[in-house]
Amino acid sequence: MRKFLIVGLGNIGAKYEGTRHNIGFEIIDQVAKRLEANFEEVKHGSMAKASYKGRTCFLLKPNTYMNLSGKAVAYHMQQEKIGLDELLIVTDDLNLPFGTLRIKPKGSDGGHNGLKDIQSRLSTPNYPRFRFGIGNAFEQGRQVDFVLGGWSEEEQLKLQERLEQSAKAIESFVFTGLSRTMNTFNNT
């Protein structure tokens, strides 16, 4: 049975819940809900395991905080013997308009500390990633406040639909592959 590790990046703790930086956790929660999988505490995070159409999905929310995400990713890849092609990192992206989905087979860390740590731990930038646009509507010097802030009212109204679309894209990645998923979901 083919296995996949889908990792949503975020920070643990009540003060981070519902923030833009934690969209990775929210997307993973949506996938778990769709696949009727429950989270359990594991080493370096919370994990839900789901089997569907002959595939096994490990849905991981690291508890290492964003800047040390690579520790959890590397550990669970080794534990479950998952290769780079079966890994998908789900993260926020300031460079994309709110709700824009972008799936790529590899790329730079783009200044994102979570991706930077994963790249360092895996010794390669060549792993699939799913970026969710959070926009960049902040004043100079206010990036941290924006990223760690909550959604606007307008964004809140669209968020559930965007989460659902994101979950469908992740299911597509697992069941139809990276290139078909990119063709179907990028920029939707």
The CATH number given to whatever domain includes residue 68 is 3.40.50.1470
Q: What is the pLDDT of residue 61?
A: 97
What burial class does residue 161 get, using C-beta atoms within 10 Å of its C-beta: 0-12 exposed, 13-18 middle, 19+ buried? exposed
Q: What is the pLDDT of residue 65?
A: 84
The model's pLDDT over 63-72, given as tens digits with 9 standing for 90+, comes to 998 889 999 9
The answer on pLDDT for 138 being more than 90 is: no
The model's pLDDT over 1-45, given as tens digits with 9 standing for 90+, comes to 899 999 999 999 999 999 999 999 999 999 999 999 999 999 999
Interval 99-127 mean pLDDT: 93
pTM of the model: 0.95
- Model confidence at 139, in pLDDT bands (50, 70, 90)? confident
Q: What is the pLDDT of residue 17?
A: 92
**Active-site residue, from 21, 44, 76, 112:** 21
How many independent structural domains does the chain possess?
Answer: 1
Unique residue bearing structure tokens 């999988």: 37
The answer on pLDDT for 84 being more than 90 is: yes
Q: What is the pLDDT of residue 175?
A: 92
- Model confidence at 52, in pLDDT bands (50, 70, 90)? confident
Q: What is the pLDDT of residue 132?
A: 96
The model's pLDDT over 88-108, given as tens digits with 9 standing for 90+, comes to 999 999 999 999 999 999 988
Cα-trace Rg, the chain: 15
Mean pLDDT of the chain: 93
What span, in angstroms and rounded, lies between the C-alpha atoms of 145 and 163?
A: 22
Interval 110-127 mean pLDDT: 92
Domain span at 29: 2-185
- The verdict on whether 112 is a catalytic residue reads no
Q: What is the pLDDT of residue 140?
A: 84
Q: Which residues have CB under 8 Å from 101's CB, separation 6+?
A: 130, 131, 132, 133, 162, 165, 166, 169, 185, 186, 187, 188
